[in-house]
Structure 1
Amino acid sequence: MQGPATWEEEMEIEHVATACRARVSRDGWLAAADAPVWITRDGDPHDHVLMPGELLPLHEGDRLVVEPWQAGQAARLTFVASRAESPLDPLQALALLAETFALLLEQAARGARKMADRARPYPVMRHGRAP
């Protein structure tokens, strides 16, 4: 198990491939970008499965264990700290959702390209060169 890490301000957490511990230093929101993650929060009787595009509110002092839902599948997360005067600025929330949606579209496009490549009986030229 990796960790413990401290999450503060806005940060992207890349390549969570195994269980890791984290401590939240400010209230904020956690978003799964490209794969489901399993989250266990100290003192919370329920675990959380955060699907891509979903947000989980976190509070200062929360201690978490975060791991990919599927063993061996790396996940990417984004943590955005709330401003002191408001739980989450609406524009900030919209930007976070737009970024997460863009990552989901990129992942879907990669998957569609792989499926199309497997279904083609002949190679396709990409950017002027054969695959």
Structure 2
Amino acid sequence: MPTRPRAGRRSSHNCPARRCGRSSNRSGSPRATDHTITDEDELFAELETVREQGYALNREESTDGVVAIAVPLVPDETVIGACSVTGPRHRMTDERLEDEIADLLLSVSNELELNITHSHGPVGKFCPG
């Protein structure tokens, strides 16, 4: 199951628009489903929404019938990973994703960031270079 259309978006949380644009243009945006975002302007608008709300949604963009939500892990201003939940559309409505699961993932991400930052020192110990 390809996840590329959204995985890049969640890791682009702090990506400058120009750099993200160059990356997008180099790799292209193949259409995986009827819901895949392939328009560059629409992608940049979606990236801005992701930055504002703190999470990315995949509404059947990678695979028909599958939705996902992801939040970045950003301790010490460095993106080191993401937490996500994926499931079938019939069990994960937009309301459940945005109201229930988003809050849970944001809380988990915040707790992990605090633990990484305060328990073990700088992120560089986990992500050298």
TM-score category, normalised to shorter length: 0.3 to 0.5
Q: TM-score, normalised by structure 1?
A: 0.38
Specify the structure having the higher radius of gyration (Cα).
1
Larger strand share, 1 or 2: 1
Larger helix share, 1 or 2: 2
